[in-house]
Amino acid sequence: MKDISQSAYNIADLREIARRRLPKGLFEFVDRGTEDEIALRNNRAAFERIKLRPRTLIDVSGRSQGITLFGHELKMPIAIAPTGSGGLMWYEGEIALARAAAAAGIPCTVATGSITAMERIVEQAGGRLWFQLYMWPDRSLSHKLVERAKAAGFEALIVTVDGAVAPNREYNLRNGYTIPFSFTQRNVTDVLMHPRWLLGVLARYVFTTGMPRYENYPNELKNRITARPMGKSRMVSDSLNWEDLRVLRKMWPHTLMVKGILSPADAILAADCGADGVIVSNHGGRNLDSSQAPIEALPEVVDAVGKRLTVIVDSGFRRGSDVIKALALGAKAVLVGRPTLYGTAAAGEAGAGRAIAIFREEIDRVLALIGCRSIAELNRDHLILDKRWDSTD
Amino acid sequence: MKDISQSAYNIADLREIARRRLPKGLFEFVDRGTEDEIALRNNRAAFERIKLRPRTLIDVSGRSQGITLFGHELKMPIAIAPTGSGGLMWYEGEIALARAAAAAGIPCTVATGSITAMERIVEQAGGRLWFQLYMWPDRSLSHKLVERAKAAGFEALIVTVDGAVAPNREYNLRNGYTIPFSFTQRNVTDVLMHPRWLLGVLARYVFTTGMPRYENYPNELKNRITARPMGKSRMVSDSLNWEDLRVLRKMWPHTLMVKGILSPADAILAADCGADGVIVSNHGGRNLDSSQAPIEALPEVVDAVGKRLTVIVDSGFRRGSDVIKALALGAKAVLVGRPTLYGTAAAGEAGAGRAIAIFREEIDRVLALIGCRSIAELNRDHLILDKRWDSTD
Amino acid sequence: MKDISQSAYNIADLREIARRRLPKGLFEFVDRGTEDEIALRNNRAAFERIKLRPRTLIDVSGRSQGITLFGHELKMPIAIAPTGSGGLMWYEGEIALARAAAAAGIPCTVATGSITAMERIVEQAGGRLWFQLYMWPDRSLSHKLVERAKAAGFEALIVTVDGAVAPNREYNLRNGYTIPFSFTQRNVTDVLMHPRWLLGVLARYVFTTGMPRYENYPNELKNRITARPMGKSRMVSDSLNWEDLRVLRKMWPHTLMVKGILSPADAILAADCGADGVIVSNHGGRNLDSSQAPIEALPEVVDAVGKRLTVIVDSGFRRGSDVIKALALGAKAVLVGRPTLYGTAAAGEAGAGRAIAIFREEIDRVLALIGCRSIAELNRDHLILDKRWDSTD
Amino acid sequence: MKDISQSAYNIADLREIARRRLPKGLFEFVDRGTEDEIALRNNRAAFERIKLRPRTLIDVSGRSQGITLFGHELKMPIAIAPTGSGGLMWYEGEIALARAAAAAGIPCTVATGSITAMERIVEQAGGRLWFQLYMWPDRSLSHKLVERAKAAGFEALIVTVDGAVAPNREYNLRNGYTIPFSFTQRNVTDVLMHPRWLLGVLARYVFTTGMPRYENYPNELKNRITARPMGKSRMVSDSLNWEDLRVLRKMWPHTLMVKGILSPADAILAADCGADGVIVSNHGGRNLDSSQAPIEALPEVVDAVGKRLTVIVDSGFRRGSDVIKALALGAKAVLVGRPTLYGTAAAGEAGAGRAIAIFREEIDRVLALIGCRSIAELNRDHLILDKRWDSTD
């Protein structure tokens, strides 16, 4: 089978292939934001407002984009963000994603809401794996999940803290998809009109493990959430607090990150609780529609805790230049979520690899064009922030 | 009859249902602004420019959106704004609105220009009712209206002060609607093309009380304004002044609010006259097209009089996050007008209730997502105002 | 004949009527700007950026918009700007314009490039007339024109100084109109498709005075400029300088204004030369496409010379609120050009009068809505300029 | 043959003619930017944000736009930028360009990637010629090229430093053009649909020198790069550094310029290396999509090195007013690339001349309209940068 993802020149191309391949309801589940999608648009606009100031006539022939993150060498300054739907993009899409990451020498995060069970991803894909945790109201169930991740050999734990309640993603309700997957009045036509997904993804699940569902969930929860709308199915706890984080810190001996921080004060509290890293994120513009773009919240967080812990950022990264801007502002790495999902939807592991390769090429090109030989050389002098003409007063 | 308003996921959906149900001229009467609709658009854009800074890992499981306003407990931080057209949206729409508000535990304001007489609304709907006063040139007629409101048991009086003259709503003149309602060359096709409104609303009035008109008006005025264009029918006084307010203060023993303030200096004068509250408002962008967005005028007013009286705000509120922003800037409550009118037009009391419920859900969700357990915890630290990158100098 | 201009609710409506009535080439001659029309659009955008801060509860029942300008009482704070094409909008359109102005109690400016001779306008229209002067390379010819204006009883002389060379109005070249009017390959279809203009305007000239041309021009110049493209026909002098102004000052005993000032330094020089007033203008966005919006240049000019001479402004005024903003910034009056031309094209004198009436109503309404009883009460406290949130630091 | 370029009133018109004449792939090669074309659009938007402040009543009748640049008199303040594709716009288009420049009294730059060999351009066109150098990995080959340029009598050498690696021009890959030109699956239809180009340009090359290729390249390189995609064919060196510049400085006895500077620090280094000039440029928005607009980077560069060397600027200049703004900010001259290429594509030498004439007329007009008699009189007081209302605090 021809690998269509090789025809993509950029992430927007991969997105377009995914849009054609997936039922509309699944594509929107991945692609869209929340409410009026102000945050979604602003995440991108914020990157456009930042300009890079190139330096020239520097020998960049031996340049490298490798970084050291939490003591490990990464071949690129990115990691795969947790996303709950990889397994709906492609049959066992989470395995495809993890394999692509391993091949590229970068970490991949497995989500609580993964379709494929975490142990199976470890077994089939290997590589450097992180586990993302949503805390359920019943803490003991979540703690068992953490123990499973530890036993399975995950290298890091990411606790997502920006979803105290289910966000308002109205399109999910309109589209009528459910987890575990079921046919509803609202999605049946959509699915039938996409036979490639129906046969290539859904049917393969049905003939092996049954309708796709959250395979990481313990049976207690799997049974309770039978066929709830995707937009409403998150059984997260709205009582999650810093004490929960301290408990997790004691349970988890490896790298611990807190994801969904936008305020310097919270970053300081995370450091006080012993976290190793924070991920500045507005959940890709999918949770709080009035949230600031993470790239604009980043500098204050770096200033507040940059010396105490590792600051990572995500949300809206689509070009290598976006990654460079984040690193120049002080982030140590960037998570990418949708780009590799688009790739997975387009062509499974090869497509996810194509997404990563696009970032690699673009990061390399921008490094060369601004005169940097390594990520370490990036700093705020490479940036021009939006204060027009101030320098010419 | 199926309640179509339950299919609305947000206020924009309710608006769309209203748009289809109402004759165009009536929909525009409710929906549009004035002149070039700059203020109308800017009211919304101003909300988009304000970002919320979420705090995380706070136990928000016991959160509440209840407030205390003028010594009363409200289940939500909103009240229904005065609007003169509820009775045209639905048969006896003002009663529907008031019932929905009562059921939700929030106040409802009856307008001078209500189609249904104030006493009838009190009788049929009950709940916590406020009365809005437009001052006529003949003060004695207005004072009689105030006495009627007092006798009917209204809890508060709102004096609207931003309409010294009729505003320039050109679409009303183009659409050719009149109050009392009459068929004109310009509106007859529009009405006939909307049989649901013709039969469900207009016909019911005709068979009970006759063509819909301002039932609060004394007979002297009812007769004088026979079938004047809606856009020109307001018989307000352009000589209204602070002395009038002082007279009203003496007449009215309960809560007294001044609506339509955009200047801190006027807020101070209102406090000096003994008002209990001011409503920062540009009349939903319907009167002065060059007016500032109330959400942007709010902070200065709060700074000027926040300790002396209760500052409320309205104009352009469509999402729970808008309400949260206003409260974080120091408002004590928010009035909503069009959203509940859209709901009323869609499904009467149930529709108005749906609009309120949407706000309730959205306010609750945003509170949780930014880490607030109560309205009292909101403050300006939750806001990021539009001064890009200043913090990273 | 029904007066179609009465159906216009605002200047945009009048413009639309004019657009339908006039051949496209003539409409564009009046309506458009220069080059990429950045200045044209920015003139309007600049007004949108300025907000009015209303004051309330002020008795505005006896309000007036009358002003005193150069010692004369004007019923409104506007005057008709010089425009060279009034006579092409309507048969003897300049007379129609002047009559409408006289009826409204405001001055009207006759342009050097008027189609109707100045003496004929004085004779047929009367009222308070100003004369606008473009200086020809041959100064003596221009001085004769000034002497004619003095003899004809013009009250004021306006010297236009922002057109040292013909501006770059590419549409005029494309449209192929000429002065004196002639049929060209480019305009003939356009004219034939507008029989109302062909018969009602062009034919009437042909049967009386011949093809329309600049009737103010001395015969020396009339003959020299036979049928040159409208966009290129201005025989202005690029050597015009302050000495010319001083000479005119000696020749002209009445009010002398300099039109086309955007720099405070030039306003000071104009005062030093003995001018009575300056008109801050970018020629309606028609000359220098990179020019600042006059409303934004105005404050500095007022600050520089407001106490020494009368500052007037024009360019882009379409709403009463625009006029109020200019007066609040310190202008003593506003010139309007296109609005009354649209009106003239729509319905001759009645149409011009309708344009003036629209401004009168809108100015009156805005005065009332912001709590002003007279133009004198307007000041910068009524304005909110574009410095978002600065007050809430 | 009628010269169609004479019907163009501005550069946009010439662009439109070029768009119709050229195969789409070639037009896009010239016209477009890189990646998401943010830099391309911002280059233009930056000019729109700068306003000119006109001075009036200055005798500008004897004005001139001539300048002295590196000791030579230029009739206009512009020179032709290096572009590698002139020879694909028109048969021997580089000769056409150089002739047009010579006729206009301005320099023309021949690019390393010229289709016509540099010696042939010198021979056929004459005039004041500059040579642009891309440094190959094998320095000795590049140095031979420099020696050829010296021998051929080029007056100046421009070293381009903003292309350490090939930029990401995705459209070139999509369009499938190659150098040397060859028919590919992707371009064949495009070419056949443009018979004028096929017969008038391509066929003439084929019947004389064979398929168009980089005729300046030494045979070693010509052979190595057979039919590589245009977007990927640049064999530039990513090890280029300041030492290379110092070597070139020793080799080249005439004027030496460094092109592609956006940072003041690099401009200082260029001066330290003995360069005579720097060209502030983002390569027309074609290399680094996050780069600042050169017109906005210019002031800082001028402030840093304006007294030590000659600062020139390019990227996005389409109107005479753009040139005036750059000169007022301190540039000594402006390079134009695409405008003359559009002209060349439209009508060869005559078209290139038309582009230059358009600039000449527009520069002359703007000079007159802002009251300047010479380029030397331009300064920052003629500019209003984007700091709205600051002067009226």
Counting residues of chain D whose pLDDT is more than 70, the rounded percentage is 95
Contact D392 C386 (CB under 8 A): no
Residue linked to tokens 């796709």: A212
Residue D387 is encoded by which pair of tokens?
């700091």
Other CB atoms within a 10 A radius of the CB of residue C243 amount to 12
- Strand B178-179 vs strand B228-229: parallel, antiparallel, or unpaired? antiparallel
pLDDT for res D79: 98
pLDDT higher than 70, residue A389: no
pLDDT higher than 70, residue D274: yes
Which of A38, A49, A265 has the CB atom closest to B48's CB atom?
A38
Q: Which of A1-5, D347-351, D382-386 has the highest mean pLDDT?
A: D347-351
Q: What is the 3-state secondary structure (H, E, C) of D60-129?
A: CCCCCCCEEECCEEECCCEEECCCCCHHHHCCCHHHHHHHHHHHHCCCEEECCCCCCCHHHHHHHHCCCE
Q: What is the pLDDT of residues B50-106, one digit of tens each?
A: 999 999 999 999 999 999 999 999 999 999 999 988 999 999 999 999 999 999 999
Which residues face B121 on adjacent strands?
Answer: none
Q: What is the pLDDT of residues D164-182, one digit of tens each?
A: 999 999 999 999 998 889 9
Q: Burial, D204: exposed, middle or buried (Cβ in 10 Å; 0-12, 13-18, 19+)?
A: middle
Who contacts B212 (Cβ-Cβ below 8 Å, separation ≥6)? B87, B88, B115, B179, B180, B181, B202, B205
**Biggest CA-to-CA distance, chain A:** 70
- Strand B72-74 vs strand B67-69: parallel, antiparallel, or unpaired? antiparallel
User: Mean pLDDT, to the nearest integer, of A358-384?
Assistant: 97
User: Mean pLDDT, to the nearest integer, of D138-159?
Assistant: 97
CA nearest to B335, candidates B260, B391, B265, B231? B260
Residue A187 is encoded by which pair of tokens?
């999605």
* Position D378 confidence tier, pLDDT thresholds 50, 70, 90: very high
Which of B51, B324, B325 has the CB atom closest to A292's CB atom?
B51
Phi, psi of D364 (to 5 degrees): -60, -45
- Strand C310-313 vs strand C333-336: parallel, antiparallel, or unpaired? parallel
Contact C60 B303 (CB under 8 A): no
Residue A323 is encoded by which pair of tokens?
């990654």
**Rounded to two decimals, what is the model's pTM?**
0.96
User: Mean pLDDT, to the nearest integer, of B205-225?
Assistant: 86
pLDDT for res A175: 94
Counting residues of chain A whose pLDDT is more than 90, the rounded percentage is 90
pLDDT for res D391: 38
Other CB atoms within a 10 A radius of the CB of residue B161 amount to 30
Who contacts C35 (Cβ-Cβ below 8 Å, separation ≥6)? C168, C170, C289, D10, D319, D321
pLDDT higher than 60, residue D233: no
pLDDT for res A393: 35
pLDDT for res C393: 36
The beta-strand segments (E) located in D181-340 are 228-229, 255-261, 277-280, 310-313, 333-336
Q: What is the pLDDT of residues D26-42, one digit of tens each?
A: 999 999 999 999 999 99
Separation CA A144–CA D68 (nearest Å): 79
pLDDT for res D222: 75
Three-state secondary structure call for residue B390: helix
CA atoms D293, D298, D304, D306: torsion sign: positive
Q: Is D283 a catalytic residue?
A: yes
Separation CA A376–CA A373 (nearest Å): 8
Separation CA D266–CA D247 (nearest Å): 17
Q: Burial, C207: exposed, middle or buried (Cβ in 10 Å; 0-12, 13-18, 19+)?
A: exposed
Contact C55 B266 (CB under 8 A): yes
* Position B221 confidence tier, pLDDT thresholds 50, 70, 90: confident
User: Mean pLDDT, to the nearest integer, of C373-377?
Assistant: 98
Of the candidates B143, B254, B283, B382, the residue annotated as catalytic is B283
pLDDT higher than 60, residue D64: yes
pLDDT higher than 60, residue C389: no
Q: How far is B55 from chain A (nearest CA, A)?
A: 7
Q: What is the pLDDT of residues D281-310, one digit of tens each?
A: 999 999 999 999 999 999 999 999 999 999
Phi, psi of C68 (to 5 degrees): -110, 125
Q: How far is D206 from chain A (nearest CA, A)?
A: 32
Residue linked to tokens 């920015």: C42
Separation CA A23–CA A20 (nearest Å): 8
Contact C9 B174 (CB under 8 A): yes
pLDDT for res C1: 62
Phi, psi of D111 (to 5 degrees): -90, 150
pLDDT higher than 80, residue C387: no
Residue A110 is encoded by which pair of tokens?
């497995």
Contact A168 B365 (CB under 8 A): yes
Q: What is the pLDDT of residues B293-319, one digit of tens each?
A: 999 999 999 999 999 999 999 999 999
User: Mean pLDDT, to the nearest integer, of A373-391?
Assistant: 82
* DSSP string across C151-197: HHT-SEEEEE-S-SS----HHHHHHT-EES----TTTHHHHHT-HHH
Of the candidates D72, D143, D254, D283, the residue annotated as catalytic is D283
Residue D16 is encoded by which pair of tokens?
């439109």
Q: Is there an interface between C and A (3+ Cβ pairs < 8 A)?
A: no
Q: What is the DSSP letter of B293?
A: P
CA nearest to C6, candidates C351, C365, C361, C359? C351
Separation CA B86–CA B341 (nearest Å): 6
pLDDT for res C84: 86
A212: cis peptide before it, omega within 30°? no
Phi, psi of A190 (to 5 degrees): -55, -45
Q: Which residues of C touch B170 (CB under 8 A)?
A: 9-10
The answer to whether B154 touches B110, Cβ cutoff 8 Å, is: yes
pLDDT for res C220: 81
Q: How far is C169 from chain D (nearest CA, A)?
A: 10
C389 or A377: which leads in pLDDT: A377
- C381: number of CA atoms within 13 Å, CB side? 10
pLDDT for res B16: 98
Q: What's chain A's average pLDDT?
A: 94
Other CB atoms within a 10 A radius of the CB of residue C2 amount to 7
Q: Which residues of A touch D390 (CB under 8 A)?
A: none
pLDDT higher than 70, residue B224: no
For chain B, list the contacting chains (3+ Cβ pairs, <8 Å). A, C
Query: Residue B318: enclosing H or E segment and its boundaries?
Result: none
Contact A56 D290 (CB under 8 A): no
Residue of A nearest to B361 (CA): A168
Separation CA D389–CA B144 (nearest Å): 49
**Biggest CA-to-CA distance, chain B:** 70
Separation CA C17–CA C197 (nearest Å): 13
Q: What is the pLDDT of residues C7-16, one digit of tens each?
A: 999 999 999 9
Other CB atoms within a 10 A radius of the CB of residue C239 amount to 16
Residue B63 is encoded by which pair of tokens?
């959160």
pLDDT higher than 70, residue A304: yes
pLDDT higher than 80, residue C223: no
Contact A57 D269 (CB under 8 A): yes
For chain A, list the contacting chains (3+ Cβ pairs, <8 Å). B, D
Q: Which of A195-199, B208-212, B215-219 has the highest mean pLDDT?
A: A195-199
Q: What is the 3-state secondary structure (H, E, C) of chain A?
A: CCCHHHHCCCHHHHHHHHHHHCCHHHHHHHHCCCCCCHHHHHHHHHHHHCEECCCCCCCCCCCCCCEEECCEEECCCEEECCCCCHHHHCCCHHHHHHHHHHHHCCCEEECCCCCCCHHHHHHHHCCCEEEEECCCCCHHHHHHHHHHHHHHCCCEEEEECCCCCCCCCHHHHHHCCEECCCCCCCCHHHHHCCHHHHHHHHHHHHHHCCCCCCCCCCHHHHHHCCCEEHHHCCCCCCCCCHHHHHHHHHHCCCEEEEEEECCHHHHHHHHHCCCCEEEECCHHHCCCCCECCHHHHHHHHHHHHCCCCEEEECCCCCCHHHHHHHHHCCCCEEEECHHHHHHHHHHHHHHHHHHHHHHHHHHHHHHHHHCCCCHHHCCHHHEECCCCCHHHC
* Position D225 confidence tier, pLDDT thresholds 50, 70, 90: low
pLDDT higher than 80, residue D232: no
Q: What's chain C's average pLDDT?
A: 94
Q: Which residues of B touch C56 (CB under 8 A)?
A: 161-162, 164, 258, 260-261, 263, 266
The answer to whether D374 touches D64, Cβ cutoff 8 Å, is: yes
- Give how far Cα A296 sits from Cα of A30, C256, C388, Å: 23, 55, 19
Which of B56, B388, B392 has the CB atom closest to A161's CB atom?
B56
Contact D299 A391 (CB under 8 A): yes
Q: What is the pLDDT of residues A39-60, one digit of tens each?
A: 999 999 999 999 999 999 999 9
Separation CA D99–CA D105 (nearest Å): 10
Separation CA D263–CA D275 (nearest Å): 15
pLDDT higher than 70, residue B362: yes
Q: At what angle do helices A139-152 and A118-125 cross, to 10 degrees?
A: 10
Who contacts A27 (Cβ-Cβ below 8 Å, separation ≥6)? A18, A19, A345
Separation CA C186–CA C184 (nearest Å): 5
The answer to whether D213 touches D179, Cβ cutoff 8 Å, is: yes
Q: What is the DSSP letter of B202?
A: I
Q: Show the domains of chain D with their CATH numbers.
A: 4-50+73-363 (3.20.20.70)
Counting residues of chain B whose pLDDT is more than 70, the rounded percentage is 95
pLDDT for res D393: 36
Amino acid identity, residue D328?
A
The answer to whether D278 touches D312, Cβ cutoff 8 Å, is: yes
Q: Which residues of D touch C135 (CB under 8 A)?
A: none
Residue linked to tokens 């109020």: C324
Which of C10, C15, C49, C51 should be substituted to probe chain B, the one whose Cβ sees the most B Cβ atoms within 10 Å?
C51
Q: Which residues of A touch B10 (CB under 8 A)?
A: 35, 170
pLDDT higher than 90, residue B236: no
* Angle A365-A369-A370 from CA coordinates, rounded to 5°: 120
* DSSP string across D309-350: SEEEE-SS--SHHHHHHHHHTT-SEEEE-HHHHHHHHHHHHH
pLDDT for res C285: 98
Q: What's chain D's average pLDDT?
A: 94
The answer to whether A257 touches A309, Cβ cutoff 8 Å, is: no
The answer to whether D28 touches D175, Cβ cutoff 8 Å, is: yes
Q: How far is B380 from chain C (nearest CA, A)?
A: 10
